[in-house]
């Protein structure tokens, strides 16, 4: 009986589910507060993202007449579900991942991509001009950063000779891959920014060009779910990069410190850089991102081969 | 060449078509011609490179005179040549000047919809400022039109522009859009991310000010005209009071004029810093937005300390200024200016060296000098393309004869150049303010001006932060103006966006719009709609 | 969906709405003075984000419509459309003398009038233009009034066609 409840608890409470949502809210607050501080402002109060969430859930949801209602309502749920599921394979809070199987690194990455995919389809579905442009940009960006990001995360996998997140962490325990694969870390970091559509890669949601991108027609619950999904993806992404590159996370304290470290770097980059046009984003990724990560792989392969 | 020589040259050029010539003011030449000769005269002036078309004014001479008059104003330096053509009150027509001056398309549209004058072969005869639901055949600027009567609403389609070929995908920007702080409507037809066509509908801020001023007295109009635009309110007020003072035959005291220039300089600082922040925000660089607006608060504090209000400082009265600058205030201004100078230097550094920002601005929206002159651009947008157009330098007015400023230009003509020009202008402005504060003349604050302004016509040109603002003021000797025509710089600068948008990326559109520092409320006292075909 | 039976939920919803007022700005013919003061409230000296106000681009994301300017004939329909696109509960704040009474533009032929002749307004902030502090004060007063009066509507899922016959919100003019 208990064993049947355990998966349920894992999905709904910890590590996925409620805990992750709260974690996402905290990360969002740190993000907004730090950005505000860097911009010489005071910034939001500590409960702000929570208030935003509750308010959105309590708001009227307007269903555009031309949109397919199943897709309209279902896509935010799929996005959130994808991100929450991805959390089951990463060491949230420094504890062992809830589930682990060979190849789960790839599965996690694809689950994380569900958010971008859902947003894109949602944008197309709502038939608003701005959401269409936003959706197109989202997909374009997906094609751009996905490959380098994946390759960058596979760097530690090669070092550990495994595609299973838990195994990678255990085999690389103690050694900070960031030191042996610094370029890979850089690409992974920037890739995370692209995945989360953080500035300077927020062309899909460029407010001053296309209003709100794919999210333009969403309101109320749908918007809330997409927002939570984004926060959750943030948490999972941070955990993944921290666990793979910063020598694993063995206990909650280490987890918090390492994820915060990466978070601060991301926020600083966010504040200091101008938004890139979509063609510049793609150009940057396909030129620098891919080349850098390929160089990293060359080095890795050669080093590995010579070590044998 | 000096003004007198300029006018003599113009008179000579226009001799074949002149019915009558007059010199109403030392720097003005009025030539009465027949409406059909307008094109020939303009072509002759353009051939000799005499000045540029600055504005076209429509005048209703009244039901008794039974005629309308169209005035074409050409400016070279301080000299203004006006071609005057009389037309019947109904059914009058004029040839278009579009092949010579593309900007005349806007002016001609205004003329047609306000006065009912037909302009033959003008490329676009859609409504410029009047709303879509305005009844056909009702011309607001005719004397018999009563602004208090509410005009019936006509049926209009919900689409601003007629429906296009279904294959094309267009992205509307405005009237409600985060990129626009004022309502205006742009439609960009896009192919992927590349803009293939750009269309614009203005008139959302058209209030009907030019008609309203005819029903209020000179003093009331001061307060109305200050609010043509909140950002350059002092410029409008200055242009107005200078013109009225000239008609009344008085000159504002020296101290008042000096204070006018100080306030104008402070306004330029606040306007350019505002523009810097808004452009940065459009580019997605919010940090620069926050910092530049934080620093802008310094100049807002100064303006508030001087006048009591942060915006709409209302410094001018007809005959002088309302408040003085005391030595303590002067000291505050100096401290503030020092701080601002350092910060502006920092921003200049950022816009010229920040790699990602440069990726968004360098090479974008490039307009070279010939194109800029041909399109009739004004203000920093033109100066960034190397056009030497600045009313304070070419035709110094009031205090600028005693406290001159130098002109700042750039040759690059792209967005980056527009940033550089505007920021460098601020250094010049700051130095000018310092000079004035060091040399404030002693005099009264204002002179008395009669309630009824003597009859006459005058033209006032001032340099607003966005370019040349043109005021044509006509008095009939009473306490209410007969006609005030306002041509604001933003109206002439729209061509910079519309000609550069096709071929650019969609993401550049907000920056292109912001790059010319648009002020919809300035140009919407009239409505303008422009269409641009891209082959 | 029927109204919630549990007062705790109502309290939670009210708390969330008061503390997370997302705003959208629309200029319906203003000279721009009020708009730059509204923008100034987002900047470091005044920082509206302290109150949870985020400026949104899409009307569908916003709770408060901050409106300036006398309504011109051309802008009138767009104003109504923007207002209708906002989901419930929504509030309108009219900023500036022109928004309250057409200000200096009362005799202009293209001006319809004040904003509350076109859409129901919940808070009026006078001034020409009002200082950013005044705008913040007006917004805070509006939020405070939300706390005391449970004037929020049912949240039903409705399609986009909504008539304008909805009565003005029960939270009225803030002095």
Best of C23, C41, C73 to disrupt the B interface (most B CBs within 10 Å) is C73
Q: Does C131 touch chain A (CB under 8 A)?
A: no
Model pLDDT, residue B349: 93
Q: What is the largest CA-CA distance in chain A?
A: 63
Confidence category of residue A150, pLDDT binned at 50, 70, 90: confident
Q: Does B361 touch chain C (CB under 8 A)?
A: no
Q: Which residue of C has its CA nearest to B207?
A: C110
- Asked if the structure places residue B14 within a domain, the reply is yes
Q: Which tens digit of pLDDT belongs to each residue from C11-20? A: 888 899 999 9
What number is the average pLDDT over the span C111-120? 90
Model pLDDT, residue A216: 85
**Among the listed residues B146, B141, B151, B137, the one whose alpha carbon sits nearest the alpha carbon of residue B62:** B141
* B381 within 8 A of B366, measured Cβ to Cβ: no
- Rg (C-alpha) for chain A, rounded Å, is 19
Q: Cα B443 to chain center, whole Å?
A: 32
The total domain count for chain B is: 2
Lowest-pLDDT range of A97-106, B174-183, B271-280, C155-164: C155-164
Q: Is the domain of B122 the same as that of B263?
A: no
Model pLDDT, residue C153: 44
Q: Which tens digit of pLDDT belongs to each residue from A268-282? A: 998 888 888 888 888
**Among the listed residues B77, B17, B69, the one whose alpha carbon sits nearest the alpha carbon of residue B43:** B17
Residue by residue, DSSP assigns A30-83 as: HHHHHHHHHTTS----TTHHHHHHHHHHTS--EE-TTS-HHHHHHHHHHHHHHH
Q: Is the domain of B464 the same as that of B316?
A: yes
Closest approach of B325 to chain A, Cα-based (Å)? 32
Q: Chain-wide mean pLDDT for chain A?
A: 86
| pLDDT above 90 for C172 | no
Confidence category of residue C169, pLDDT binned at 50, 70, 90: very low
Instruction: Write the ipTM.
Output: 0.88
- Asked if the structure places residue B376 within a domain, the reply is yes
Closest approach of B193 to chain A, Cα-based (Å)? 8
Per-window interface: B 265-284 vs C, CB < 8 A: 274, 277-278
CB distance C155–A63 less than 8 Å? Answer: no
Q: Which residue of B has its CA nearest to A208?
A: B179
Residue by residue, DSSP assigns B148-175 as: TSPPPPPP--S-SS----TT-EEEEE-S
Q: Which two tokens stand for residue A98?
A: 């809830």
Model pLDDT, residue A134: 87
Q: How many cross-chain Cβ pairs, B to C, lie less than 8 Å apart?
A: 147
Q: Is the domain of B329 the same as that of B217?
A: yes
- Asked if the structure places residue B408 within a domain, the reply is yes
Q: Does C166 touch chain A (CB under 8 A)?
A: no
Peptide bond into B386 cis (omega under 30): no
What number is the average pLDDT over the span C72-96? 90
Model pLDDT, residue B140: 87
Chain C residues with beta carbon closer than 8 angstroms to that of B228: 31
Q: Which chains have 3 or more CB–CB distances shorter than 8 Å to chain B?
A: A, C
- Asked if the structure places residue B284 within a domain, the reply is yes
- Asked if the structure places residue B326 within a domain, the reply is yes
> Where is the domain boundary, B146, B170, B198?
B146
CB distance B231–C74 less than 8 Å? Answer: no
Confidence category of residue C166, pLDDT binned at 50, 70, 90: very low
Model pLDDT, residue C171: 30
- Asked if the structure places residue B190 within a domain, the reply is no
State the residue range of the domain holding B455: 209-523
CA distance A78 to A71: 10
Domains of chain A, residue spans: 2-307
Closest approach of A183 to chain C, Cα-based (Å)? 36
* B512 within 8 A of B501, measured Cβ to Cβ: yes
Q: Which two tokens stand for residue C167?
A: 């009565």
Closest approach of A276 to chain B, Cα-based (Å)? 7
**Among the listed residues A308, A191, A298, the one whose alpha carbon sits nearest the alpha carbon of residue A244:** A191
- Block means of pLDDT (10 residues each) for chain B, length 535 residues? 87 90 91 91 90 91 88 92 90 89 89 89 83 85 83 70 62 77 82 82 85 90 90 93 93 93 94 92 89 93 92 91 92 94 94 87 87 90 91 90 90 90 94 93 90 92 92 92 91 83 83 81 47 30
What's the CATH number where B493 sits?
1.10.645.10
Q: Which tens digit of pLDDT belongs to each residue from A238-290? A: 988 888 888 777 888 888 898 899 999 999 998 888 888 888 888 888 888 88
Percent of chain C as helix, strand, coil, to the nearest 5: 40, 15, 45
Model pLDDT, residue B167: 59
Q: Is the domain of B124 the same as that of B215?
A: no
Chain C residues with beta carbon closer than 8 angstroms to that of A59: 63, 87-89, 155
| pLDDT above 60 for C75 | yes
Region class of B363: left (phi > 0), else alpha (psi between -120 and 50), else beta: left
CB distance A218–C57 less than 8 Å? Answer: no
b/e for B443-478, b at 16 or more Cβ within 10 A?
eebbbebeeebeebbbbbbbbbbbbbbbbbbbbeee
Closest approach of B62 to chain A, Cα-based (Å)? 47
Chain C residues with beta carbon closer than 8 angstroms to that of B223: 104
Residue B87: C-alpha distances to residues B14, B125, B532 (Å)? 20, 19, 30
Model pLDDT, residue A292: 85
- Name the residue facing A43 among C49, C60, C161 (closest C-beta): C49
Model pLDDT, residue A49: 92
Q: Does A226 touch chain C (CB under 8 A)?
A: no
Model pLDDT, residue B158: 58
B332 or C1, which is more confident? B332
Q: Is the domain of B396 the same as that of B252?
A: yes
CB distance B227–C70 less than 8 Å? Answer: no
Q: Which two tokens stand for residue A130?
A: 């701005």
Chain C residues with beta carbon closer than 8 angstroms to that of A207: 57
Model pLDDT, residue B249: 92
Model pLDDT, residue A183: 85
Q: Cα C9 to chain center, whole Å?
A: 25
Give, for B427, the enclosing helix (H) or strand (E).
helix B415-438
- Name the residue facing C17 among A55, A208, A216 (closest C-beta): A55
Chain B residues with beta carbon closer than 8 angstroms to that of C128: 227, 309, 312
Model pLDDT, residue B225: 92
CB distance A133–B506 less than 8 Å? Answer: yes
| pLDDT above 70 for A217 | yes
B500 or C70, which is more confident? C70
> Where is the domain boundary, B114, B146, B178?
B146
Q: Which chains have 3 or more CB–CB distances shorter than 8 Å to chain C?
A: A, B
Chain B residues with beta carbon closer than 8 angstroms to that of C69: 205
Model pLDDT, residue A198: 86
Peptide bond into A200 cis (omega under 30): yes
Region class of B517: left (phi > 0), else alpha (psi between -120 and 50), else beta: left
Q: Does C31 touch chain B (CB under 8 A)?
A: yes
- Asked if the structure places residue B531 within a domain, the reply is no
- Asked if the structure places residue B365 within a domain, the reply is yes
Residue with token string 């994301």: C61
Peptide bond into B175 cis (omega under 30): yes
CB distance A59–C15 less than 8 Å? Answer: no
Q: Does C16 touch chain A (CB under 8 A)?
A: yes
Q: Which residue of C has its CA nearest to A48?
A: C52
């Amino acid at each position: 009986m208990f064993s049947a409840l355990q998966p349920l608890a894992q999905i709904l409470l910890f590590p996925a589910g409620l805990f992750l949502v709260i974690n996402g809210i905290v990360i969002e607050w740190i993000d907004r507060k730090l950005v505000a501080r860097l911009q010489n402002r005071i910034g939001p109060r500590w409960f702000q993202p929570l208030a935003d969430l509750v308010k959105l859930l309590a708001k009227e949801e307007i269903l555009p007449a031309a949109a397919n209602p199943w897709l309209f309502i279902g896509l935010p749920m799929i996005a959130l579900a994808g991100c929450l599921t991805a959390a089951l394979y990463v060491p949230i809070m420094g504890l062992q991942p809830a589930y682990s199987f060979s190849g789960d690194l790839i599965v996690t990455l694809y689950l994380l991509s569900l958010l971008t995919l859902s947003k894109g389809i949602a944008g197309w579905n709502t038939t608003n001009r701005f959401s269409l442009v936003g959706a197109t940009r989202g997909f374009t960006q997906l094609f751009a950063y996905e490959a380098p990001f994946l390759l960058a995360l596979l760097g530690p996998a090669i070092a550990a000779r495994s595609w299973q997140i838990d195994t990678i962490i255990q085999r690389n325990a103690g050694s900070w891959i960031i030191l042996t694969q610094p370029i890979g870390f850089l690409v992974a970091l920037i890739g995370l920014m692209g995945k989360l559509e953080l500035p300077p890669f927020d062309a899909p949601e460029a407010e001053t060009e296309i209003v709100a991108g794919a999210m333009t027609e969403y309101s109320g619950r749908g918007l809330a779910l997409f927002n939570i999904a984004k926060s959750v993806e943030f948490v999972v992404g941070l955990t993944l990069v921290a666990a793979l590159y910063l020598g694993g996370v063995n206990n909650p304290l280490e987890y918090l410190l390492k994820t915060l470290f990466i978070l601060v770097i991301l926020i600083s980059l966010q504040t200091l850089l101008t938004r890139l046009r979509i063609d510049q984003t793609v150009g940057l990724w396909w030129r620098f991102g891919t080349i850098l990560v390929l160089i990293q792989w060359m080095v890795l392969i050669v080093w590995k081969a010579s070590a044998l | 060449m000096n003004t007198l020589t300029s006018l003599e040259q113009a008179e000579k050029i226009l001799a074949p078509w002149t019915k009558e010539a007059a010199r109403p003011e030392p720097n003005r030449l009025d030539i009465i011609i027949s409406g059909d000769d307008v094109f020939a005269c303009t072509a002759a002036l353009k051939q000799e490179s005499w000045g540029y078309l600055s504005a076209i004014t429509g005048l209703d001479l009244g039901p008794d005179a039974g005629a309308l008059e169209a005035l074409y104003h050409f400016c070279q330096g301080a000299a203004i040549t006006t071609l005057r053509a009389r037309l019947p009150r109904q059914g009058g027509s004029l040839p278009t000047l579009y092949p010579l001056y593309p900007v005349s398309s806007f002016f001609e549209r205004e003329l047609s919809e306000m006065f009912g004058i037909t302009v033959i072969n003008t490329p676009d005869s859609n409504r410029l400022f009047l709303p879509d639901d305005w009844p056909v055949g009702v011309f607001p600027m005719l004397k018999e039109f009563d602004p208090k009567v509410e005009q019936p609403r006509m049926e209009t389609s919900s689409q601003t522009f007629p429906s296009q070929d279904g294959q094309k995908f267009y992205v509307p920007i405005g009237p409600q859009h985060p990129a626009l702080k004022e309502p205006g409507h742009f439609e960009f037809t896009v192919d992927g991310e590349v803009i293939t066509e750009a269309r614009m509908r203005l008139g959302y801020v058209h209030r009907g000010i030019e008609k309203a001023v005819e029903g209020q007295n000179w003093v009331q109009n001061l307060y109305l005209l200050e609010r043509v635009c909140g950002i350059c309110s002092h410029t409008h007020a200055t242009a107005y009071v200078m013109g009225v003072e000239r008609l009344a035959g008085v000159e504002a005291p020296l101290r008042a004029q000096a204070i006018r220039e100080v306030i104008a300089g402070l306004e330029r600082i606040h306007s350019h810093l505002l523009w810097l922040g808004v452009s940065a925000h459009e580019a997605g660089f919010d940090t620069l937005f926050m910092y530049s607006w934080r620093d802008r608060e310094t100049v807002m504090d100064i303006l508030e300390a001087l006048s009591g209000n942060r915006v709409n400082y209302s410094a001018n009265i007809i005959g002088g200024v309302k408040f003085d600058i005391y030595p303590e205030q002067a000291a505050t201004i100096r401290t503030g200016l020092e701080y601002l100078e350092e910060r502006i230097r920092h921003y200049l550094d950022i816009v010229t060296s920040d790699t990602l920002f440069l990726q968004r601005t360098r090479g974008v929206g490039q307009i070279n000098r010939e194109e800029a002159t041909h399109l009739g651009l004004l203000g920093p947008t033109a100066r960034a393309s190397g056009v030497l157009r600045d009313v304070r330098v070419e035709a110094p007015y009031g205090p600028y004869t005693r406290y001159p400023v130098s002109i700042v230009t750039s040759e690059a003509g792209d967005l980056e150049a527009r940033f550089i020009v505007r920021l460098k202008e601020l250094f010049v402005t700051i130095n000018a303010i310092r000079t004035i504060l060091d040399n404030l003349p002693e005099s009264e604050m204002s002179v008395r001006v009669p309630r009824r302004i003597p009859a006459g016509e005058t033209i006032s040109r001032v340099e607003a932060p966005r370019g040349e603002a043109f005021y044509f003021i006509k008095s009939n000797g009473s306490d209410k103006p007969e006609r005030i025509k306002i041509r604001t710089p933003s109206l002439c600068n729209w061509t910079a966006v519309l000609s550069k948008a096709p071929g650019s990326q969609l993401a550049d559109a907000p920056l292109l719009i912001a790059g010319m520092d648009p002020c919809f409320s300035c140009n919407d006292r009239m409505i303008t709609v422009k269409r641009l075909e891209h082959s | 969906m029927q109204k919630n039976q549990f007062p705790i939920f109502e309290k939670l919803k009210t708390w969330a709405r008061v503390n997370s007022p997302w705003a959208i700005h629309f200029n319906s013919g203003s000279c721009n003075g009020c708009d730059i003061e509204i923008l100034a409230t987002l900047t470091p000296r005044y920082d509206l984000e302290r109150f949870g106000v985020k400026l949104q681009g899409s009307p569908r994301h916003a709770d408060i419509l901050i409106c300036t300017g006398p309504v011109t004939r051309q802008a009138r329909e767009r104003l109504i459309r923007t207002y209708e696109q906002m989901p419930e509960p929504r509030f309108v704040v009219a900023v500036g003398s022109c928004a309250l009474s057409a200000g200096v533009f009362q005799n202009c032929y293209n001006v319809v009038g004040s904003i509350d002749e076109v859409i129901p307004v919940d808070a009026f902030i006078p001034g020409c233009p009002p200082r950013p502090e005044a705008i913040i004060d007006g917004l805070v007063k509006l939020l405070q009034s939300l706390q005391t009066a449970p004037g929020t509507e049912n949240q039903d899922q409705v399609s986009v066609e909504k008539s304008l016959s909805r009565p003005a919100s029960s939270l009225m003019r803030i002095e």
